[in-house]
Every structure is written in C-alpha cells, then in structure tokens.
Amino acid sequence: MTLPEIIRRRLPGRTMRPYERHAVGFLLSRLAMGAGVGFAFGGLLLALDAGDLRTLIFNGANTALVLVMLFLGLFVTFGSAGMGLGVMGLGEERD
C-alpha cells in the first residue's frame, strides 16, 4: 500500500476530536498573543526610530516590501515563542 492510499484511508472527511480541537485552540491563542507582542514591538521600533530604522525604511525604494518582511519576521519569531512558552508551561513538576 502506498503512502497516498494510506492517507486517503485515514483522512476521508475526518473531523477533529474534542481534545484535538482544544489543543489547536490553545496553540492558536498563544500564537495570537505572541504575534500581538511582535507587532507591538515592531511598531515601537518604528515609533522610536531605533537605530534610524524608520528613516532607512521610509527613505528606501521598497518600503512596503521591507515592512512586510520586518513584521512577518516578528510574527514568526514572537508567535513561535508564545506557542513554545505555552506548551512548556503545561508540564507538571515531578518530585
């Protein structure tokens, strides 16, 4: 049996189980929190003109591209950090 056949057999119209739905919701909420912090950090960088970053971005030829790259990078970085902190915070201490 090939891999595509196995996938088709296991996933035809499959709905999420309640615990899967809870886990995805948990991760998405942590992603949203981390992304919010990342966007706030990016806005703060631009508002304070840290290291003349705002000046460099808005005087360049590709302002939109640079802003998308900046905020996408912050979204990925802070979003994944938020999810990681959420998952690591789930553990129980063992004595």
Task: Tell which residue, 83, 65, 62, has the closest CA to residue 73.
Answer: 65
Q: For 33-54, how does the pLDDT look when each residue is reduced to its tens digit (9 = 90+)?
A: 999 999 999 999 999 999 999 9
Q: What is the span of the domain harbouring residue 40? A: 21-87
The answer for residues whose C-beta is within 8 angstroms of residue 16's C-beta and 6 or more apart is 24
Report how many domains make up the chain.
Answer: 1
> Quick check: is 64 in a domain?
yes
> Quick check: is 94 in a domain?
no
Q: For 68-92, how does the pLDDT look when each residue is reduced to its tens digit (9 = 90+)?
A: 999 999 999 999 999 999 999 887 7
